[in-house]
Amino acid sequence: MNNPVRLDLENGIAVVTIDNPPVNALSHAVRAGLLRMIDTAEAGGAQAIVLIGAGRDFIAGADISEFGSPPKEPYLPDLCRRIEKSSCPVIAVLHGATLGGGLEVALSAHYRVATQTARIGLPEVLLGIIPGAGGTQRLPRLTGAEAALDLITTGRHVTAKTALELGIVDHLANAPPKEAGLAFAENIKGQGQRPTSDLPQPDAADFDAWYSRMEQVHRGQSAPKTAVRAIEAASSLPFEEGLLRERDLFLTLMDSPQRAGLIHAFFAERAVSKLPELKETNPRDIHTIGILGGGTMGAGIAAACLLKSLPVTLVDRTRAAADAARERIAQSIQGAVKRGKLEDAAPVMDQLVTTAEDLDLADADLIIEAVFEDMETKHEVFARLDAICKPGAILATNTSYLDINVIAARTSRPEDVIGLHFFSPAHIMKLLEIVVADKTAPDVIATGFSFAKRLGKTAVRAGVCDGFIGNRILSRYRMAMDNLVLDGASPYQIDNALTEFGMAMGPFAVADLAGLDIAWAARKRKAASRTPYERIPTFADRLCEMGRFGRKTGQGFYLYSEKAPQGIPDPEVEAIIAEERAKADIIPRDFRDDEIVLRFMLAIVNEAAYILDDGIARRPLDIDVTLVYGYGFPRWRGGPMHWADQAGLGRLLDSLHTLQDEDPHFWAIAPLLSRLAQSDQSFADLNKGMSR
């Protein structure tokens, strides 16, 4: 774009409009344009300057696609200083996204007016950085240190009304941005400039307490605790020195792998829905949802739909089962009320019909089956749905590993069949795997993605295989960790090493939560097809034989009690493991935490490379988003494929070769990984050109 900033004179007032779609980010051209227009307005003797954004947003912040390239002048902090020192009074009109550098521009203006649409915040910590253009120095001068600490360390957005209460804005307007700015300019005529930097320093807060809280809450992350130090500078240093301190801290974070990981995650989660078939196809209309099966998953999916105002008809086998499902759904909706997500449960519950009559699904536009995970049962269900549902209805299965091609073949309309794999609790977890079978029609895929968006979920396209993307990888890293236990590591050391690495939970704590009986049943089911090389976690079988199924039975790998709801290690489990090792003639050895983490990551990355080669995931970024949103992988590491690129594929390949010597079958190296490493390519190279 030639000139993304323009100036219009309106009765002696310069209206400067930033027009850089989609969100008016502060690209180099915008920064340069703003500087030029401030000069022009002053030279022309404007009485005031009104800053607005074209379209919905004021400014959504720095242009983060420029991060990682060498910065170009004018730099944002200098632009902000220039605005603040302008010889004309400057009024910023905050509307739509007014975030990050966008808010920093507004804080440098002399007056701030907000319209009702404004979403105001400094979300930099979510990108692994802190505000770098005076935000940590100016905001606390307006709001006090406590409120600034809260806003900057959470990165949360506030409404115009809250911003007024906090002292961030001077006035709320009920008019379009330009009119609001011009009217305000009239009102402040003759009042001159009012630089935020002239305001008194904020009082000190208990910065050390904030710092330790950030270390605890955001384990492993640098940005939130660094933000505390920057805000501390606002109360302890003169303004100019505070700016320099902020700059130093900001630049260190800009160079960090956490920043690179979080920016990768930001773009990856937007790229997952950029698929050729979605560009060319319109989704089908979805007004009503049918759900078959009212267990944990079915009820969770129903709650997810209801919370987004989609009417649901839920069918279970008996009236009593349907009533129980209604009760489960009501609890989830009540939970949303308690969490402040919803005001009143009643109108939401009014959109729900629970019944034992599957003919009631006849009019639904999208039917999601969430019955027992068993192929025979699924066959029956799909044959029935095929007979009942109207033409054009989408028949979805929530299976987490069964072959959807086989399920689709049971219907006369395989093109209408798709997998919608939700994660439990379905009304809370953000990930939805959209599993595309061989005959699924493109508009059905498009509908899956638009449905996910409607539910506020992040959808990833997956192909059909045992476990799709996520559970296939999970099963592989679980096996790697089980093998480590057999060889000498304790489940507690493994969980600890991986949570230190940043995983939300360790794999053994997760297994306890999911129920050890589930994996036990899967092991039994797969026993016949097991290869002779597969190692069996007999210690887990032993726990199950003792009725230790995890949290639901109060004991699994951990012991649970009212006093220790998160579980504590159990020496009895370690004794059982030792016995099983002895039976298998294994001489246990010690593993360092970094060896554990490396094996965990290699198991993921190697399996992911197979998944890419098999076409189950189209791009590495789809795998990154799956693991971050569905499996508690630390977002600030960008996802496993991004991690692998950072670690260096050549180095990882070397480590895999060493492991292959130890266990050639488990650690058989994915050809894609060798190809990439040998040609000096990365997973990021595979993402390129595939996300538009």
- ω into 22 cis (within 30 of 0): yes
In the list 97, 107, 408, 602, the residue contacting ligand T1G (rule: CB under 6 A) is 97
> Looking at beta carbons only, is 268 or 302 nearer to ligand T1G?
268
Nearest Cα neighbor of 61 from 71, 50, 72, 53 is: 53
Distance of alpha carbon 518 from alpha carbon 527, whole angstroms: 14
> Rule CB under 6 A: is residue 544 a binding residue for ligand T1G?
no
372 contacts 343 by C-beta, under 8 angstroms: no
In the list 79, 109, 118, 127, the residue contacting ligand T1G (rule: CB under 6 A) is 127
506 contacts 499 by C-beta, under 8 angstroms: yes
642 contacts 261 by C-beta, under 8 angstroms: yes
Catalytically annotated residue among 10, 73, 124, 579: 124
Count the residues of the shown chain that bind ligand T1G, applying the rule CB under 6 A: 24
In the list 4, 101, 140, 283, the residue contacting ligand T1G (rule: CB under 6 A) is 101
Apex 218 CA angle, 216 and 223, nearest 5: 120
> Rule CB under 6 A: is residue 132 a binding residue for ligand T1G?
yes
The residue sitting closest to ligand T1G, measured at its beta carbon, is 100
52 contacts 93 by C-beta, under 8 angstroms: yes
Which of the stretches 93-101, 309-317, 334-342, 355-363 binds ligand T1G when contact is defined by CB under 6 A?
93-101
Q: How far is the CB of 610 from ligand T1G (least distance, A)?
A: 29
Phi/psi zone of residue 484: left (φ > 0), alpha (ψ -120 to 50 degrees), beta?
Answer: alpha
> Looking at beta carbons only, is 15 or 227 nearer to ligand T1G?
227
Q: How far is the CB of 336 from ligand T1G (least distance, A)?
A: 21
Q: How far is the CB of 243 from ligand T1G (least distance, A)?
A: 12
> Looking at beta carbons only, is 127 or 301 nearer to ligand T1G?
127
Distance of alpha carbon 378 from alpha carbon 34, whole angstroms: 61
184 contacts 171 by C-beta, under 8 angstroms: yes
Which of the stretches 18-26, 394-402, 546-554, 665-673 binds ligand T1G when contact is defined by CB under 6 A?
18-26
**Residue 486 CB contacts under 8 Å (≥ 6 apart), including other chains:** 535, 537, 539, 580, 581, 584, 586
Q: How far is the CB of 163 from ligand T1G (least distance, A)?
A: 16
Cα distances from 684 to residues 221, 628, 648, in angstroms, run 23, 17, 12
> Looking at beta carbons only, is 15 or 64 nearer to ligand T1G?
64
Q: How far is the CB of 167 from ligand T1G (least distance, A)?
A: 20
> Rule CB under 6 A: is residue 63 a binding residue for ligand T1G?
yes
In the list 46, 92, 124, 381, the residue contacting ligand T1G (rule: CB under 6 A) is 124
Which of the stretches 129-137, 380-388, 467-475, 626-634 binds ligand T1G when contact is defined by CB under 6 A?
129-137
Distance of alpha carbon 497 from alpha carbon 493, whole angstroms: 6
> Rule CB under 6 A: is residue 65 a binding residue for ligand T1G?
yes
- ω into 74 cis (within 30 of 0): yes
Neighbours of 392 (CB within 10 A): 12
Neighbours of 548 (CB within 10 A): 23
> Looking at beta carbons only, is 133 or 402 nearer to ligand T1G?
133
In the list 270, 525, 583, 688, the residue contacting ligand T1G (rule: CB under 6 A) is 270
**Residue 108 CB contacts under 8 Å (≥ 6 apart), including other chains:** 80, 81, 83, 84, 90, 133, 134, 138, 195, 196
Catalytically annotated residue among 104, 246, 369, 580: 104
> Looking at beta carbons only, is 120 or 669 nearer to ligand T1G?
120
In the list 53, 61, 419, 506, the residue contacting ligand T1G (rule: CB under 6 A) is 61
Nearest Cα neighbor of 502 from 293, 86, 288, 218 is: 218
Footprint (CB under 6 A) of ligand T1G, residues 450-509: none
> Looking at beta carbons only, is 22 or 571 nearer to ligand T1G?
22
- ω into 425 cis (within 30 of 0): yes
> Rule CB under 6 A: is residue 64 a binding residue for ligand T1G?
yes
Q: How far is the CB of 569 from ligand T1G (least distance, A)?
A: 40
Which of the stretches 132-140, 348-356, 536-544, 589-597 binds ligand T1G when contact is defined by CB under 6 A?
132-140
Distance of alpha carbon 38 from alpha carbon 193, whole angstroms: 14
49 contacts 123 by C-beta, under 8 angstroms: no
Distance of alpha carbon 453 from alpha carbon 451, whole angstroms: 5
> Looking at beta carbons only, is 3 or 65 nearer to ligand T1G?
65
In the list 16, 99, 168, 435, the residue contacting ligand T1G (rule: CB under 6 A) is 99
Apex 610 CA angle, 604 and 615, nearest 5: 120
> Looking at beta carbons only, is 139 or 345 nearer to ligand T1G?
139
Task: Specify whether 104 is catalytic.
Answer: yes
Footprint (CB under 6 A) of ligand T1G, residues 22-41: 22-23, 25
State the catalytic residues: 104, 124
* Residues forming the site for ligand T1G (CB under 6 A): 22-23, 25, 60-65, 76, 97, 99-101, 104, 123-124, 127, 129, 131-133, 135, 270
